[in-house]
Amino acid sequence: MTEKQQQLEAFRVNDKGQALTTNQGLKMADDEHSLKAGDRGPTLLEDFHFREKMTHFDHERIPERVVHARGSAAHGVFETYECASDITKAKFLNGKNTTTPVFVRFSTVAGSRGSADTVRDVRGFATKFYTEEGNYDLVGNNIPVFFIQDAIKFPDFIHSVKPEPNNEIPQAQSAHDTFWDFVANNQESAHTVMWHLSDRAIPRSYRMMEGFGVNTYRFINAEGKAHFVKFHWKPLLGVKSLVWDEAQKIAGKDPDFHRRDLWDAIERGDYPEYELGVQLISEEDEFKFSFDILDATKIWPEEEVPVRILGKMTLNKNVDNFFAETEQVAFHVGHVVPGIDFSNDPLLQGRLFSYTDTQLIRLGGPNFHELPINRPVCPFHNNQRDGYGRHTINVGQVSYHKNSLANNTPRPVPEEEGGYAHYEEKIEGRKVRARSESFKDHFSQARLFWLSMTDIEKKHIIDAFSFEVGKVKNKHIRKQVVDMFAHVCNTLATKVAENVGIEPPAKVEVPNIQQTSPSVSQELNPVETVKTLKVAVLVSEKSPQNLQELLSIFTKENIVVELIGSKQGILQGHEINQTFSTTASVLYDGVYLTTSYDDTHQQKLADHFIQEAFDHFKTVGYTENITSIQQFTRKDGVVKSPEAFVQALAQHRHWER
Ligand code: HDE
């Protein structure tokens, strides 16, 4: 058990088997009837039990997060591969095999708490490291760049992507006028919009997406030497995505798709794993790049600045209580430890204000650090006192510094002894409301990203543009968007223009980008594994008698299998988990057919199941000479044996169809 789990254990309560009491501990004889003046009479004010129960219920909700409201979280542990003391003195990154408990919350950005998981959106990837030096929060996203350069524009940007204020439509979607109006009028968004329209914005699973710190931070080692740093999480299962039609259908069939996937994987013991890496630029090299390294709309191409892998995080425990943990966890980019500091990235600077500020309203006051999930595992002492919901009973008469009554304690700790001291960066300048000239190139990296895509990835981006801009009602905005993205690629903009019924953009000059950055392409960096992919095996009484043999070929490879039939029950000793009405093809990574169905309606449903898998480029396998499959055979990824199926499944999608 990690230190954090031990700490949480003290707060866990099991109500099972206990007597029902009020919050004052009074055992109650009845919990089903309010106290009334006569059987049919009015309820009495003196019914303290009714009042307590109802009052608590009436106050059960807290404001949802203003962004990233929909999320899902898990506990785990981070372990270093090597000692990184040459670059940072942060203790949790020093030493080999150093372990630190973590809590990670994944999220979508735009939707409300109850919105669907598989919408097109950036995903949040926030990690709290409970280190011995205090909590360190790495609050990142699954896309390495951001839509804006200066935090003062964040409220505008978020207002534009959230449901429109007059009718609160649409939920959890960027495909509407205000978002695209913002994009067209704030062209710094170009690069991130390209990522947002790529497959990155519809991940297959939280377990199969990268994480990025996005902003530029600083690492400082024990000698005081500083590097600019960008953080990366790389999933060991590789980066995989849904296809758009599938994502939309899943939003209806299983709006909890990602949440369920994460939960189930951890319950099965298929613990999600991610490697932590850093890109480093020394202080001397700050100005040696074609982009400003403080600009959050820019990546540091991995080909230019390689990622150094420091360790691995494993998520191995689900929460016990969603509200207490996932909902009440409070992340903040300002939660740092010695060895990690900030840069002047104007987005990061604004974030440093916003996160604590938002917790004050969301968690109802300044004591949210006392909530079990937020407590550091090391002791904390200061002279802060009181406020709503204070738990700690600070004893003694002193709550100020300096003092002699308590021997001048709690006392500040010198830097040499582990006290946090800010990096002494030299700053000069005038007070201005302005943006540096070096932040003004909005299209070079948008084009770099575009040129780094494979053909199928480019096609998906064009399709996504056509869907999103096609949903924009205002023709003028459509035109502006098309004209804007002509600066990225004229062919792209022209195709979109055609699809959305707008005249093609005038030829404009595109940035002179020659190189590509293959590391940004998912397709060029496949991790071909079938581990934990989910397969539907279609069965009936007519299935061959060797079901066990087939299933063990799959489970040996750590494939997750569900049997689908026309009705539930037991077949050859195996439970038929789902029927065509309780599940859907879109919820699986591949389909294996062992039977045809006598009932024509059931056969129709099975055909639809296979057709969808086929249309979504998934692996389809079959054992028997089943006539219904014939239309698909000899197509890529349609195979006739379980072994061939496993092999084909590792590719995940068969785009050549
Ligand atoms: Fe956030 N962001 N953000 N953000 N953000 C919040 O804090 C904010 C940005 C990110 O699972 C809020 O506790 C500003 C970038 C994640 O609890 C809020 C700006 C990145 C989460 C806030 C940004 C993020 C948040 C809302 C522009 C990727 C969810 C609730 C300057 C690096 C954390 C909360 C969780 C949440 C502000 C931009 C990631 C309002 C002002 C860039 C993963 O404080």
Q: Give the tens place of pLDDT for each residue, 302-321.
A: 999 999 999 999 999 999 99
In sequence order, the 6+-apart residues with CB closer than 8 A to the CB of 387 are 365, 366, 367
Residue 505: C-alpha distances to residues 194, 410, 479, 496 (Å): 18, 65, 8, 10
Whether the CB of 151 sits within 6 Å of ligand 1:
yes
Structure tokens at 118: 């598989």
Same domain, 504 and 541: no
Mean pLDDT confidence for 428-448: 97
Q: State the amino acid at position 653 in one-letter form.
A: R
Domain membership of residue 190 (yes or no) is yes
> Is residue 240 very low, low, confident or very high in pLDDT (cuts 50, 70, 90)?
very high
Tokens, residue 411: 């006392």
- Residue in 154, 329, 351 to alter for ligand 1 test, most ligand atoms within 8 A of Cβ: 351
Nearest residue to 456 via CA among 654, 201, 248, 301: 654
Q: Which atom of ligand 1 is nearest to the CA of 106?
A: 11
Across 611-616, average pLDDT: 97
Whether 351 is in the pocket of ligand 1, judged by its Cβ within 6 Å, is yes
Looking at the predicted structure, is the pLDDT value of residue 399 above 80? yes
Residue 455: which residues within 8 A CB-CB, separation 6 or more? none
- Residue 321 Cβ inside 6 Å of ligand 1? The answer reads no
CA 118–ligand 1 middle distance (angstroms): 19
**Which one is catalytic: 75, 94, 135, 141?**
141
Query: In terms of domains, do 216 and 345 share one?
Result: yes
Give me the CATH number covering residue 216: 2.40.180.10
431 lies in some domain: no
User: Does residue 583 sit within a domain?
Assistant: yes
Beta-bridge partners for 311: 80, 276
The two tokens of residue 458 are: 């480019």
Domain membership flag for residue 364: yes
588 and 541 in a common domain = yes
Please give the number of the atom of ligand 1 that sits closest to the Cα of 355.
44
Are 504 and 549 in the same domain? no
Q: Are residues 514 and 544 in the same domain?
A: no
Q: Which residues pair with 506 in a beta bridge?
A: none
Question: Any idea which residue has 């439509």 for tokens?
Answer: 169
pLDDT of residue 341: 98
The ipTM value here is: 0.98
Indicate if 278 and 360 belong to the same structural domain: yes
Query: Would residue 326 count as lying in a domain?
Result: yes
Residue 277, strand partner residues: 232, 309
Which residues are 278's β-sheet partners? 231, 308
Distances (CA, A) of 252 to 495, 586, 643: 30, 11, 33
Residue 399 maps to a domain: no
Question: Percent of the chain having pLDDT more than 90?
Answer: 98
Q: Which atom of ligand 1 is nearest to the CA of 148?
A: 27
pLDDT at position 153 is 98
Asked whether the predicted pLDDT for residue 620 surpasses 90, the reply is yes
Last residue of a domain, one of 520, 545, 576: 520
Average confidence (pLDDT) over 53-69? 98
In angstroms, the CA 314 to CA 130 distance is 14
Strand partners, 229: 217, 280
DSSP, residue by residue, 465-518 = HHHHHHT---HHHHHHHHHHHTTT-HHHHHHHHHHTT-PPPPP-PPP------G
Average pLDDT over every residue of 341-365: 98
Residues 163 and 88 reside in one and the same domain? yes
Angstrom distance (rounded) from CA 105 to CA 100: 16
Confidence of residue 337 (pLDDT cuts 50, 70, 90): very high
pLDDT in tens, 14-50: 999 999 999 999 999 999 999 999 999 999 999 999 9
What b-and-e string marks burial along 159-171, b requiring 16 or more CB atoms within 10 Å of the CB? ebbbbeeeeeebe
Min mean pLDDT across 4-8, 35-39, 558-562, 635-639 is at 635-639
pLDDT over 90 (residue 565): yes
The pLDDT tens digits for 529-564 are 999 999 999 999 999 999 999 999 999 999 999 999
3-state secondary structure of 249: helix
Residues 68, 196, 232, 335: which is the catalytic one? 68
Region label for 165, one of left (φ > 0), alpha (ψ between -120 and 50) or beta (otherwise): alpha
Q: How far is the CA of 124 from the centre of ligand 1 (A)?
A: 8
> Would the CB of 331 count as within 6 Å of ligand 1?
yes
543/605 same-domain check:
yes
Residue 614, domain extent = 534-649
Tell whether the model's pLDDT for residue 410 goes beyond 90: yes
CATH of residue 559's domain is 3.40.50.880
* Same-domain status, 570 and 514: no
Q: Is the CB of 140 under 6 A from ligand 1?
A: yes
Question: Is there a domain that residue 255 lies in?
Answer: yes
State what percent of residues in the chain have pLDDT above 70: 100
Residue 634: band (very low, low, confident or very high) from pLDDT cuts 50, 70, 90: confident
Does 285 lie in the same domain as 247? yes
**Is 499 found in the same domain as 583?**
no
Q: What is the pLDDT of residue 268?
A: 98
DSSP E strands in 7-121: the ranges are: 71-80, 99-108
Nearest-angstrom CA–CA distance, 113 and 197: 23
Asked if residue 389 belongs to a domain, the reply is no
CA distance 253 to 260: 13
DSSP string, 156-192: HHHHHHSPPTTT--STT---SHHHHHHHHH-GGGHHH
| Same domain, residue pair 490 and 575 | no
Q: From the CB of 138, is ligand 1 less than 6 Å away?
A: no
Q: What angle do CA 157, 105, 263 make, to 5 degrees?
A: 130
* 68 among known catalytic residues: yes
- Domain count for the chain, please give it: 3
> What is the CATH number for 479?
1.20.1370.20
Strands 560-565 and 273-282: unpaired
Confidence of residue 625 (pLDDT cuts 50, 70, 90): confident
Question: What is the average pLDDT score of the chain?
Answer: 97
CA 93 to chain centre: 23
What would the pLDDT profile of 466-476 be if each residue is shown by its tens digit? 999 999 999 99
Summarize the confidence of residues 398-414 as an average pLDDT.
97
Q: Is the pLDDT of residue 624 over 80?
A: no
pTM of the model: 0.98
Is residue 214 lining ligand 1, measured as CB closer than 6 Å?
yes
* pLDDT band at residue 627 under the 50/70/90 scheme: confident
Residue where a domain stops, chosen among 494, 520, 546: 520
Q: Give the span between the Cα atoms of 246 and 199, in whole angstroms.
A: 12
Q: Which helix (H) or strand (E) covers residue 360, if one does?
A: helix 346-362
- Residue 545: what pLDDT? 93
Q: Helix, strand or coil for residue 628?
A: helix
Span from the CA of 313 to the centroid of ligand 1 (angstroms)? 21
pLDDT at 626 over 90: no
Can you give the pLDDT at residue 562? 98
The predicted model gives 366-388 an average pLDDT of 98
- Of 346, 374, 402, the one marking the end of a domain is 374
